Amino acid sequence: MRILLISANREPFPEPVFPLGPVYVADALQKAGATVRIADMRGRVFGQSLRREITDFRPDRIGVSLRNVDNAAYPAVRFYLPSYASLMNSIRASSDSPIILGGSAFSLFPEEMCSSLGADSGVQGEGENAAPVFQDFDTGRVAAPGWADAPGISFPTNIGELFPGFRRYRTIGIQTSRGCPNQCIYCTYPSLEGRRRRPRSPEGVAGDIAMLHRDYGIRRFFVVDSLFNADEGHMVSVLEKIASMGPGISFSCYLQPKMSDPAIFRLLKKAGCVAVDFGTDSGSPALLSSLRKPFTVDDIRKVSRACRREALDFCHSLILGGPGETAETIRETVALMDEVSPRAAIAMTGIRIYPATEMERIAREEGLIRPGQSLLEPRFYFPSMGAQSLVKTAYESVGGRRNWFFPGRRDWSSTIGYRLLNLLYRGGPLWRTFRK
């Protein structure tokens, strides 16, 4: 069977993101006997070139990977569904093959997306076990083939053949584990990846990196794990394997701002880590507790000090506007950021509400969402001060601090313009491009 996987994501900010989901799915489909190609929509208009790709490859099935629903950035919200609908029209104009949807955006709203985009079928959740769905799909039905086994996750060695344009990406994603056991009130990750940790073998991860480095000259990676340090023991084993490969590899990653042993930051550096993005959310103890974050303000101080000691670049990602946020708690967060002094503080204002989260329950209880109201079109939670006042208070509290960014509004592109940004951008996290 011939399967064309189309990555629909065209969002260039904060950086063009390597379509790791379709790549892992392609590897599993190949192992199940299919001939697979990946078509990447990054930087493309849907139309003639896609038509050529479809007619040249003659797929029996077309999988479409939908990564983002929207950019989750209030008040500069970008909603991608209309662009996905236009992609579906282009595909239908070129092929009668059944279309099967998947990806994180699809998995959050499977039924609504399947019907509004007129797909033949869809896969909710991980796609490594989806081969039978491609073979024998049930029209109009969403399938959930279940969590992948960690050893079944790997990077295809023939990536250059199945995804010819992949080297356009300056940074390649790599995943070392799935699943998060924590219960932060707004988070979709436990429903996208499950609560049970599924670590990949350190040898498997290092093998993928070594293959990409040796065969394709790739040197820059992003560890996409939602929580690389959820299991410090596993993280250390992965880092030791990468460190043993010698110099030439660099990577960045997300970490929660809590590490039992600060020496791990030395190992991170030794393995080639150049930048850490901490999922910090707030600098106010009251908000950390209302968001159910499993760390304290003191943990945030400690990890920031450890990064500075090891000369590791770091940023703190923040969410302003959780239940109980006030002007005072925002000032506490700004003061903590002044104290720990990251290269960048990247702040969202308002919290995107996703189905099946505690945030949804609270928003319904507070009457912010009407009974039966869909969350597909972006809806945000705001504390009692309201949306406008939240945004105003956040901007005023931050004032002229040049290391603070509000995605979509007061961010890199608005500071220097899109063109200059593209010229300056050299790969890796965008926030590293700028000096404080």
Q: How far is the CB of 183 from ligand B12 (least distance, A)?
A: 15
Is residue 281 part of the contact set for ligand B12 (CB under 6 A)?
no
Q: 199 has which bridge partners?
A: 177
Task: Classify residue 276 by burial, with Cβ atoms within 10 Å: 0-12, 13-18, 19+.
Answer: buried
Residue with CB nearest ligand B12?
102
Confirm if 22 and 63 have CB atoms less than 8 A apart. Answer: yes
Token output for 133: 């769905």
* First-to-final CA distance of the chain: 53
Size of the site for ligand B12 (CB under 6 A): 46
Of residues 227 through 286, those in contact with ligand SF4 by CB under 6 A are 227, 256, 279
In terms of CB distance, is 50 or 180 closer to ligand SF4? 180
Interface segment toward ligand SF4; rule CB under 6 A; list 7-15, 91-99, 187-195, 398-406: 187-195
Residue length, the chain? Answer: 436
Task: Classify residue 358 by burial, with Cβ atoms within 10 Å: 0-12, 13-18, 19+.
Answer: middle
CA–CA distance, 151 with 169 (Å, rounded to integer): 26
* Amino acid found at 204: G
Confirm if 11 and 42 have CB atoms less than 8 A apart. Answer: no
CA–CA distance, 207 with 26 (Å, rounded to integer): 18
Interface segment toward ligand B12; rule CB under 6 A; list 6-14, 81-89, 294-302, 324-332: 6-14
Interface segment toward ligand B12; rule CB under 6 A; list 95-103, 160-168, 388-396, 417-425: 95-103
According to CB under 6 A, which one of 100, 108, 172, 187 is a site residue for ligand SF4? 187
Is residue 230 part of the contact set for ligand B12 (CB under 6 A)?
no
Phi, psi of 323 (to 5 degrees): -60, 125
Which does residue 190 bind out of ligand SF4, ligand B12, none, counting CB within 5 to 8 angstroms by kind? ligand SF4
Q: 63 has which bridge partners?
A: 5, 100
According to CB under 6 A, which one of 184, 264, 320, 421 is a site residue for ligand SF4? 184
According to CB under 6 A, which one of 29, 99, 114, 180 is a site residue for ligand SF4? 180
Is residue 110 part of the contact set for ligand B12 (CB under 6 A)?
no
Task: Beginning with the edge strand found earlier in the chain, give each strand of the sheet holding 404-405 in spatial order.
Answer: 172-174, 220-223, 250-255, 273-281, 313-320, 344-349, 404-405
Interface segment toward ligand B12; rule CB under 6 A; list 45-53, 65-73, 239-247, 255-263: 65-73
State how far the alpha carbon of 113 is from the alpha carbons of 102, 135, 338, in Å. Answer: 10, 21, 42
According to CB under 6 A, which one of 38, 39, 54, 71 is a site residue for ligand B12? 71
* Amino acid found at 381: Y
Interface segment toward ligand B12; rule CB under 6 A; list 169-177, 199-207, 300-308, 411-419: 169-177
CA–CA distance, 361 with 210 (Å, rounded to integer): 45
According to CB under 6 A, which one of 36, 91, 105, 238 is a site residue for ligand B12? 105
CA–CA distance, 343 with 337 (Å, rounded to integer): 10
According to CB under 6 A, which one of 175, 237, 280, 357 is a site residue for ligand B12? 175
The residues that touch ligand B12, with contacts defined as CB under 6 A, are 5, 9, 11, 14-18, 20-22, 24-25, 63, 65, 67-73, 100, 102-105, 107, 123, 126-128, 130, 148, 171, 173, 175, 188-189, 192-193, 222, 224, 226, 352, 407
